[in-house]
Amino acid sequence: MSIIDKIFKLLYLTSRQNLIYKIYEKHLTSQINQFPFPQHIGIILDGNRRWSKIMDIDKAKGHQMGADIAEDLLNWIYDLGIRITTVYVLSNENLSRETNELENIYSLLEDKLIGLYNDKRIHEKQIRVKSIGEFNILPKRLQDILRKLETRTEKYENMYLNIAIAYGGQKELIDAIRKIAMLAKENKIGIDDIDEKVIEANLYTAHLPQAEPDLILRTSGEKRLSGFLLWQSAYSELIFVDIFWPEFRKIDLMRAIRTFQKRARRYGK
């Protein structure tokens, strides 16, 4: 077989795979459109480093691929019309990684956030973008672009995109407790006034119309939340998939939604 023949065979196989993917995506769309969608989805983006190790490539390339998939995720969210999405990008524990790796992650984040700032769909669809986490310990350049994004979109109420970066669920609860303690110290509330609503009003997610995720999805096969939205996830449906984040596809998100739709939510009743 000549080189030209091999090229055409590869193109044929690729196009056939794309056709099968499109047919399956259309099938999934028809299925999930029959039932209510989750209003709030939380996604733990996990597995960039392990994927790069398996693929025998540099960790930086794994993070680059993961960042590109995260950008694709926003397109899928736009298409599906998910109202609230919270993505767990970087935990506060992750900040102890090697300087070179962190710098690479920060650079990727900066590039993607600048792209998001200039994305017309953010304004066409009225999407509020907000970071949740220890904002003040991020590099200044990341603080600057996040602040610009938040300021430019702070009045939008149609959709919400939360970026959990330098985030930890325990730290969020500590910060909420400190805020409430200060309110009590200043006699703005009494001890008996402290209830679920007061706590929720002092969490990082207080700006959301629905802080509790209906569905939390984690990639890479790990079956734990790793501190993600500890208070808010009390009755979230949890879905763990074995694929690494750089391999994640739109059909994987749609299948997670289909699984969610099949579950009976009882809220402890």
User: Which of 5, 18, 33, 46 is labelled catalytic?
Assistant: 46
Binding residue numbers for Mg(2+): 46, 237
The closest alpha carbon to 216, from 40, 22, 35, belongs to: 40
Beta strands in 133-199, from DSSP E residues, in sequence order = 159-167
Q: Are 47 and 33 in contact (CB under 8 A)?
A: no
Residue 111 is a catalytic residue: no
Binding residue numbers: 46-51, 59, 63, 91-93, 97, 218, 224-226, 237
> Quick one: angle between helices 3-32 and 250-262, nearest 10?
30
Measure Cα distances from 246 to 4, 38, 49 in Å: 31, 23, 10
Binding residue numbers for substrate: 47-51, 59, 63, 91-93, 97, 218, 224-226
User: Which of 68, 75, 94, 144 is labelled catalytic?
Assistant: 94
Locate 97 and state its tokens: 């990684």
Residue 46 is a catalytic residue: yes
Measure Cα distances from 135 to 25, 130, 175, 207, 257 in Å: 38, 11, 13, 16, 31
Residues designated as active site: 46, 94
